[in-house]
Amino acid sequence: MTSKITYQNNLRTTAVHLQSGNEILTDAPVDNHGKGEAFSPTDLLATSLGSCILTIMGIKAADKGIDMTGATAEVNKIMGSNPRRIKRLEITIQMPNNNYSPKEKNLLEAASHGCPVGRSLHPDLEEIIQFNW
């Protein structure tokens, strides 16, 4: 088992990662009857994609001796309706100023598309990944 999620009340859950004991709170967003006081479940999905992209790039970078310490991913989630779902995810990857070669840039950008979270999402969900080198 990966996690255990408990419904607290007032559209809030607590998820516990069973291996580490780390906890995540979720709260329904303001535009869907919630207080917006924590990540919403759809925020977590969007954030998971950004985190996964950086992780997969980091694995490739470590294999090739490339330093990408300090790289960030900014995630913008756009919701759709009928049905209510995530319609589009815009991810901006900001890379540190490490004078990457064109070959290193191509390698890391290609690695970003190997993220298992992204591969698990419905093909109708539009994913836009932008790199700032």
**Over the stretch 58-113, which tens digit does the pLDDT of each residue have?**
999 999 999 999 999 999 999 999 999 999 999 999 999 999 999 999 999 999 99
Q: Is 51 helix (H, G, I), strand (E, B) or coil?
A: helix
Could you read off the pLDDT of 35-48 as tens digits, one per residue? 999 999 999 999 99
pLDDT value for 64: 98
Asked if residue 83 has a cis previous peptide bond (ω within 30° of 0), the answer is yes
CA distance 20 to 33: 31
Residue 53's pLDDT is 98
Q: Checking DSSP bridges between strand 72-80 and strand 23-27, what pairing results, if any?
A: unpaired
- Look at residue 59 in the predicted model and tell me its pLDDT: 98
Residue 68 is predicted with a pLDDT of: 98
Place of tokens 């932008």: 130
Report the pLDDT value the prediction gives residue 86, as an integer from 0 to 100: 97
User: What's the predicted TM-score (pTM) here?
Assistant: 0.93
